């Protein structure tokens, strides 16, 4: 096998690995999706007390999500106004089974820093920390029939296999 062919094979394997790691195959089959650990700088970040269930916070998150406050920040353009992805690769926020596998720290990290090798941008320069939490509170409603959901229980990661 020549150097060019080996390079193509390696690139293909890298892409396949990233798809596996970052959840494109999140259908809940026999092969669990492996996600990277939350970096230390985000590990202790958590939704402010009471925000998951606060209708005002959720409504403010909706305005941010839909680009009503800043046209450059429009989560709905990829993730859909109803949480159903409009663009390939965008996470489907309506699937509660998949959403519950992530801690609030994980979501906050991904919104803040983006997801490498995907179209998910880092939003920490466009949104304040408070705004990012509000967007998360709103996004969470898609998996709960459009209603805020209680997150008072401690997050427990899925068992390693």
pLDDT for position 19: 35
pLDDT for position 23: 39
Report pTM.
0.72
- State how far the Cα of 139 lies from the Cα of 161, in Å rounded to an integer: 29
Q: Over range 69-86, report the average pLDDT.
A: 92
Question: Could you tell me which CATH class the domain 40-144 is placed in?
Answer: mainly alpha
CA-CA-CA-CA torsion sign (153, 22, 69, 43):
positive
Q: Tens of pLDDT along 107-160?
A: 899 999 999 988 999 999 999 999 999 999 999 888 877 766 666 554 445 555
Between CA 117 and CA 111, with CA 16 as vertex, the angle to 5 degrees is: 30
Q: Tens of pLDDT along 32-76?
A: 556 789 999 999 999 999 998 899 999 999 999 999 999 999 999
């Amino acid at each position: 096998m020549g150097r060019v062919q080996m390079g193509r094979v390696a690139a293909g394997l890298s892409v396949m690995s990233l798809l596996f790691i970052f959840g494109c195959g999140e259908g809940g089959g026999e092969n669990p999706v492996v996600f990277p650990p939350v970096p230390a700088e985000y590990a202790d970040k958590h939704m402010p007390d009471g925000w998951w269930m606060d209708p005002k916070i959720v409504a403010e998150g909706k305005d941010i999500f839909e680009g009503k406050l800043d046209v450059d920040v429009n989560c709905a353009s990829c993730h859909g106004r109803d949480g159903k992805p409009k663009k390939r690769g965008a996470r489907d926020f309506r699937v509660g089974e998949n959403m519950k596998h992530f801690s609030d720290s994980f979501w906050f990290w991904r919104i803040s820093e983006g997801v490498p090798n995907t179209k998910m941008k880092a939003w920490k320069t466009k949104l304040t920390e408070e705004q990012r939490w509000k967007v998360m509170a709103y996004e969470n409603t898609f998996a709960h029939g459009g209603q805020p959901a209680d997150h008072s229980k401690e997050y427990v990661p899925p068992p390693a296999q």
